[in-house]
Amino acid sequence: MKKKLTGFDAGGHTHPEIRPGDRWKDSRGGIVIIESCQFNRVTYCREGYSSPCFCTPERLAREFTFVSSAPVACGEDIDRIMRTEGAERIRVMREIIRERGAKK
């Protein structure tokens, strides 16, 4: 019996959705953290760099390897952030990030 290649089967590698806070690894093992993602531009920050870097989503998927996704925010964290305003909000967000890092 001859096998028919209809093309209905999925092929190739799947790429995770690019979200802010995700961690990706480049070919040399350096970790990058996604800051924002738009339809034609991904902004990421390399560890040890002071300024952000840019690339297309296609290039990110081609040249980087997905490491881990950003942790999902708890409802209480969001409420804590929304109760504050201005510069105080930035301080609260930094505290939450530090707390999440300490849990690992």
The predicted structure's pLDDT at residue 32: 92
- Output 71 or 46, whichever has higher pLDDT: 46
* Chain segment 1-30, per-residue pLDDT in tens: 677 777 666 666 566 788 888 899 999 999
**C-alpha to C-alpha distance for 81 and 73, rounded to whole angstroms:** 11
The better pLDDT of the pair 41, 16 is held by 41
Residue with tokens 């980087």: 64
Phi-psi map region of 27: left, alpha, beta (phi>0 left; psi -120 to 50 alpha): alpha
Going from N- to C-terminal start, the domains of the chain cover 18-70, 71-104
For 18-70, the fitting CATH number among 2.60.120.560, 3.40.50.2000, 2.30.30.30, 3.30.420.40 is 2.30.30.30
Read off the pTM.
Answer: 0.56
- What percent of the chain clears pLDDT 70, i.e. is strictly above it? 82
> What's the Cα-to-Cα distance from 12 to each of 15, 43, 61, rounded to whole Å?
10, 26, 13
Amino acid type, 85: E
